[in-house]
Amino acid sequence: MSEKTILILGGGVGGIVVANELRQKLSRSHRIILVEKNADHAFAPSFLWLMTGERRPEEITAPLHRLVRSGIDVVRAEVTNIDIARRQVRTTQGALSYDYLVIALGAELAPKLIPGLEASFSFYTFEETQKLRKALSEFMGGKIMVEIVLGEKKRKVLVILQSDWFRAGRVDDSEMTDQILVVQLELAGGESYRGGEILIEKRVARN
């Protein structure tokens, strides 16, 4: 088989695992390129502990080049366009051609699409979680709304927040339900908007 170029977009969990697996399985005559916009990889499951201050940023991040096997070319650039017909990807560092393409760019939250939610915090990205950590550490009282969007992950957040504050003596048992509002949101449709309206009503905002 002639030499092939495998282009992997996104150096998150998915991109790193695919790149490393392929490097192990394929002969070195095939080129593997990993494109990632950030120099460091942040381990998302630990964002919850970053949020509560139980991990420091440097404990949950590592330079991407240290996480990939040798023989993988890491390109630090932002992907701006994918041209499937021409088998070419445009990046902020120039165009890259490929024989095989892996898209592992993850997902992004779009809080601006829900009225009221743009003023909220999230623990979905490294940067956002650090802002949330700061806000929580400065929080002296009042109400906090925790949205639950399907699944168990955010329920876990609620439990962590409660136990953290309980341990820190910030709230006692009787205050807990008063301090934290839980809103069930569906991922799409009218319910999301209702969540946004509640956020505005309760004036849960950054400032």
Ligand X SMILES: Cc1cc2nc3c(=O)[nH]c(=O)nc-3n(C[C@H](O)[C@H](O)[C@H](O)COP(=O)(O)OP(=O)(O)OC[C@H]3O[C@@H](n4cnc5c(N)ncnc54)[C@H](O)[C@@H]3O)c2cc1C
Nearest-approach distance from CB 18 to ligand X, in angstroms:
9
Residue sitting closest to ligand X (CB)? 12
Does 123 contact ligand X by CB under 6 A? yes
In order, the DSSP letters of 38-59 are: -SEEE-GGGHHHHHHTSS-GGG
Q: What is the dihedral of CA 56, 57, 61, 62, to 10 degrees?
A: -90
Contact assessment for residue 65 and residue 20, using Cβ atoms and an 8 Å cutoff: no
Q: What is the dihedral of CA 21, 22, 24, 25, to 10 degrees?
A: 120
Contact assessment for residue 44 and residue 62, using Cβ atoms and an 8 Å cutoff: no
Only segment of 43-51, 67-75, 93-101, 172-180 that touches ligand X (CB under 6 A): 43-51
Does 48 contact ligand X by CB under 6 A? yes
Binding residue for ligand X, selected from 73, 111, 119, 124, defined by CB under 6 A: 124
Does 35 contact ligand X by CB under 6 A? yes
Rank residues 11 and 195 by Cβ distance to ligand X and give the closer one: 11
Q: Which residues bind ligand X (CB under 6 A)?
A: 10-15, 35-38, 44-45, 47-48, 78-79, 104-106, 123-124
